[in-house]
Copies of this chain bind each other. A is one copy, B any other.
Amino acid sequence: MSIAALVPVFAALGDETRWSILTALGEGEASASALAERLPVTRQAIAKHLAVLQQAGLVEPVRAGRELRFRVLGAQLSDTARRLDRIGAEWDRRLAAIKEIAESL
């Protein structure tokens, strides 16, 4: 449950092209070749991005005949969101406590 495990996920989400891939996959599974037809980058570039996304646990490969489709994993996103929220809340809680103490002096 360390923050370190989250870093690759955020790094993966910190790229415009990867978001276009993710949102495209959000409408249904697709292969790298299929994605290359509707995005302005080559299939090979997309394949690299998919590898990054898979490493981050954001997508999952699914064999479908002779093509390799990818499915987006919304649950991983929601999971990350929950942890983010907790961290942010903790920061604000702690800083508010410090302010309390400072004002009581």
Contact = CB atoms under 8 A, between A and B. Distances in A.
B95 A84 contact: no
Contact of A12 (B4, B14, B16, B26): B14
B72 A95 contact: yes
B27 A3 contact: no
What interface size band does chain A fall in?
Answer: 35 or more
A89 interface: yes
A10 to B, nearest CB: 4
Given A74-B89, A84-B78, A84-B84, A14 B7 contact: yes
Nearest to A8: B14
11 contacts: A10-B10, A10-B11, A10-B13, A28-B94, A74-B89, A74-B95, A77-B85, A77-B87, A77-B91, A81-B82, A84-B84
